[in-house]
Amino acid sequence: MLLLAAGITGGLTGSIAGLASVATYPALLAIGIPPVAANVTNTVALIFNGVGSMWGSRPELRGQGPWLRRIAPVAALGGALGAILLLSTPAEGFEKAVPVLLGLSSVAILLPRGRADPHPDKLRRRRGVQIAEAAAIGGITVYGGYFGAAAGVLLLALLLRAGSATLAHANASKNAILGVANLVAALIFAVAAPVQWAAALPLGLGCLLGARLGPVVVRHAPATPMRLVIGAAGLAVAVRLGMSAY
Q: What is the pLDDT of residues 2-21, one digit of tens each?
A: 999 989 988 888 777 677 77
Q: Burial, 91: exposed, middle or buried (Cβ in 10 Å; 0-12, 13-18, 19+)?
A: middle
The single-letter DSSP state of residue 195 is -
The predicted pLDDT at position 124 comes to 53
Q: Is the pLDDT of residue 93 over 80?
A: no
The predicted pLDDT at position 16 comes to 76
Are 182 and 43 in contact by the 8 Å Cβ rule? The answer is yes
User: What is the sign of the dihedral through the CA atoms of 235, 85, 53 and 176?
Assistant: positive
Reported as a pLDDT band with limits 50, 70 and 90, residue 110 is: confident
The predicted pLDDT at position 121 comes to 53
Q: Is the pLDDT of residue 59 over 70?
A: yes
Nearest in space to 47 (alpha carbons), one of 216, 178, 188: 178
User: Which one is predicted more confidently, 222 or 182?
Assistant: 182
What does the alpha-carbon distance between residue 220 and residue 16 come to, in Å, rounded to a whole number? 12
Dump pLDDT digits (tens) for 119-165.
555 555 566 667 888 899 999 999 888 876 677 878 888 887 776 66
What does the alpha-carbon distance between residue 16 and residue 56 come to, in Å, rounded to a whole number? 11
Q: Burial, 11: exposed, middle or buried (Cβ in 10 Å; 0-12, 13-18, 19+)?
A: buried
The predicted pLDDT at position 127 comes to 63
User: Which one is predicted more confidently, 107 or 203?
Assistant: 203
The predicted pLDDT at position 23 comes to 79
Reported as a pLDDT band with limits 50, 70 and 90, residue 245 is: confident
What does the alpha-carbon distance between residue 126 and residue 110 come to, in Å, rounded to a whole number? 27
Q: Is the pLDDT of residue 189 over 80?
A: yes
C-beta atoms surrounding 193 within 10 Å? 19
What does the alpha-carbon distance between residue 145 and residue 80 come to, in Å, rounded to a whole number? 7
Reported as a pLDDT band with limits 50, 70 and 90, residue 77 is: very high
The predicted pLDDT at position 41 comes to 92
